[in-house]
Amino acid sequence: MQIKPGKLLIFSAPSGSGKTTIVKYLLDNLTGLTFSVSATSRSMRVGEENGKDYFFISREEFRTKISKNEFLEWEEVYNGSYYGTLKCEVDLLLQQGKHILFDVDVLGGLNIKQHYQDQALAVFVMAPSIDTLRKRLCIRSTDSDENIQKRIEKAEFEMTFAHKFDFILHNDDLVTAQNEIKYIVQHFINT
Q: Is the pLDDT of residue 73 over 90?
A: yes
- Mean pLDDT, rounded, for 166-180: 96
- Mean pLDDT, rounded, for 101-106: 94
- Mean pLDDT, rounded, for 17-43: 94
- Nearest 5°: the CA angle 76, 23, 53 is 50
Give the model's pLDDT for residue 69. 97
Q: Three-state DSSP class for 57?
A: coil
* Domains in the chain with CATH codes: 8-190 (3.40.50.300)
Give the model's pLDDT for residue 15. 81
pLDDT in tens, 109-133: 999 999 999 999 999 999 888 888 8
Cα separation, 130 vs 107, in Å, equals: 19
- Mean pLDDT, rounded, for 147-176: 92
Q: What percent of the chain has pLDDT over 70?
A: 99
Strands of the 99-103 sheet, one edge to the other: 33-35, 99-103, 8-12, 120-126, 167-170
- Mean pLDDT, rounded, for 91-115: 95
Q: Is 63 exposed, middle or buried (0-12, 13-18, 19+ CB in 10 A)?
A: middle
Least confident of 18-27, 36-45, 54-63, 143-152: 143-152
Strands 55-56 and 33-35: unpaired
Least confident of 16-25, 96-105, 134-143, 180-189: 134-143
Give the model's pLDDT for residue 1. 65
pLDDT in tens, 38-67: 999 999 999 999 999 999 999 999 999 999
Assess contact for 165 and 126: CB atoms under 8 A: no
Q: What percent of the chain has pLDDT over 90?
A: 75
Cα separation, 110 vs 165, in Å, equals: 7
